[in-house]
Structure 1
């Protein structure tokens, strides 16, 4: 998916505020960095004007590869080993400039940096501000954060230099107030930022191409295998740690029931979000956001051992059409499926109307207990309606559908409780942390000769 101009500027080191579509405020920038940008835009033929601190661009953003070509030059970043609190973008490696500038903006004095030049791990060394910094910087997207041999410094590493560009975007969300609130609040802020972006991407049933591209770009560095099947569903897999654990299926659907109104605004009344006109689209962009953020958490931590299969289906809203086309082969060996596409809060849907079971009652009760034991109160096994859950259950997989906080879906009154939505993410994380217990319960369900009282 093509990045916006604002994204390109942030990812590659400029400190910028987007004022309106095509207009940007560079008051935080140096004259030298503004001139470097202006010359780079000229080199790729971008029509623009720079008046004082204001930049106006006429036309859509260029592809990131072309933008990188424009800002790169021979021996760029030659002074990367020097100690600096650097403000010259042209002195930094292309892929690491955004991270260095954002860290310095937040008060982390960078000591050295290298984007790895596509041959080795990327590295940034920064001075620690507080004892929370290691935890905070571990959730912005670095593959590894560890103390340096020099006291008071942290080494921030990425296996792939492209990851640095995404890290720069996440750092740009932060400010000094958020840093003081700590990792948990920052993690939730990142989630809400992703959710809001997903709510702006069009993709009604049969027209999911744009949201599919976004999900694939976000998921690609976080999984071992990624593909699109003949129906347009996204199928992905990742084995975590030694793989000695259950195989879990996580599912949400890409399509909205009707198009998202162009130019609408997302209205925020505390944790309750709604749309200024038309549907909000939380059914099921809330579920998509949850799974992408969960994939990111799993990538950064070692909380789960086993395999996760991700399925993002198309055309769910018009009869579960995408789910019906997923190949049996991809589903083989799956122990349990978790769908995130249920209205309200606290529902663990275990059947369709009480007549079509999605899982054994023992399994639903076990998940209730697991939620309660993890400090997540209010989750109860209930009856519900049809969803992709019905398809996975028909393959003999213990399946449930979890509430994600939206209400009045398919109407202009649709709303989303983003705090409840985040709670679902926390529940899934708790479930995966107890993967061994899940496997034990499912094995006992599948062996009726074992007394269930032992559960």
Structure 2
């Protein structure tokens, strides 16, 4: 948990990810893992030498623009992690969207002998990093997993009418055994990669954060660990490339900042925007919660 708390205490607003990038590259150097950065600020890490690799991705930016020096993340009741601004005596977001995903990536790089991970900039500003990512990096990936979804039970397999993965992939990884169930979601980095022609199965997983993009944001530690266990299971059980090409390529969706400004967004407003432009609204999952918003 020490690494996770360190991530939460780093300010990384969209467009200002330098401190987060420095933390990630320091961790990669400490683990002896090869990496490179592109001119946009995306980081690509490779461990091992294989014909094909499992791949997990996350984004480095967050919505929150906290004043440094008076904020800290705190563990409450041994399971919930929240942010608190001590100077102003109020709750504040911790950036678990998507620092939880970064934590899963680093854990995977630490645990497996062969792994690829990509860390993107400015996802919250319209998936800018993944729009400009080096697609050759993914040419030898078996599949791509994003951990960038609220809650603890969604496996996003469809975004804006685009299927992200094959039925064979879902059958192999058996999400129900780990308490995950297929759902539809909104734009994230894995959707952007698919829209750019990535031809392997992709999914986006719930990774234990709740009320993202608000001052009430929090993480449930057990739910984040559940996500990591499921990712480990997928890496261990799926040893072959999972080919999958989207039937249709969709246009990129505006980022939340672009639509609603730096203060956040409204789920109802986002759905109205989608309907206005003829896009498919998100589907409610079985728990009654919406998609990543």
Cα 1:370–1:390 shift into 2, 3 Å: closer
Higher relative contact order (CA 8 A, sep 6+): 2
Match of 1:226 in 2: 35
Match of 1:315 in 2: 122
The C-alpha deviation readout for 1:229-269, integer Å capped at 9, x for no partner, is: 010011111226xx36x422210110011223431232423
TM-score (norm 2): 0.74
Matches within 5 A, 1:56-455: 192-222=1-31, 224-239=33-48, 243=50, 246-262=52-68, 263-267=70-74, 268-276=76-84, 277-298=91-112, 307-353=114-160, 355-367=161-173, 369=174, 372=177, 376=178, 378-394=179-195, 395-436=198-239, 438-439=240-241, 442=242
The C-alpha deviation readout for 1:339-363, integer Å capped at 9, x for no partner, is: 111100021111114x122112342
Which has more radius of gyration?
1
Contact 2:28 2:34 (C-alpha < 8 Å) held by counterparts: no
Contact 1:294 1:429 (C-alpha < 8 Å) held by counterparts: yes
Q: Find the residue that maps to 2:115 and give its secondary structure.
A: strand
| Whole-angstrom distance in 1 between the partners of 2:206 and 2:150 | 5
TM-score (norm 1): 0.49
Cα 1:344–1:358 shift into 2, 3 Å: same
Structure 1 moving runs of 4+ over 4 Å: none
Structure 2: gaps of 5 or more residues: 85-90, 246-293
| Whole-angstrom distance in 1 between the partners of 2:175 and 2:28 | 27
Contact 1:235 1:311 (C-alpha < 8 Å) held by counterparts: yes
Q: Find the residue that maps to 1:255 and give its secondary structure.
A: coil
| Whole-angstrom distance in 2 between the partners of 1:248 and 1:393 | 16
Q: Find the residue that maps to 1:265 and give its secondary structure.
A: strand
For this pair of structures, how many residues does the alignment match?
A: 235
Contact 1:253 1:312 (C-alpha < 8 Å) held by counterparts: yes
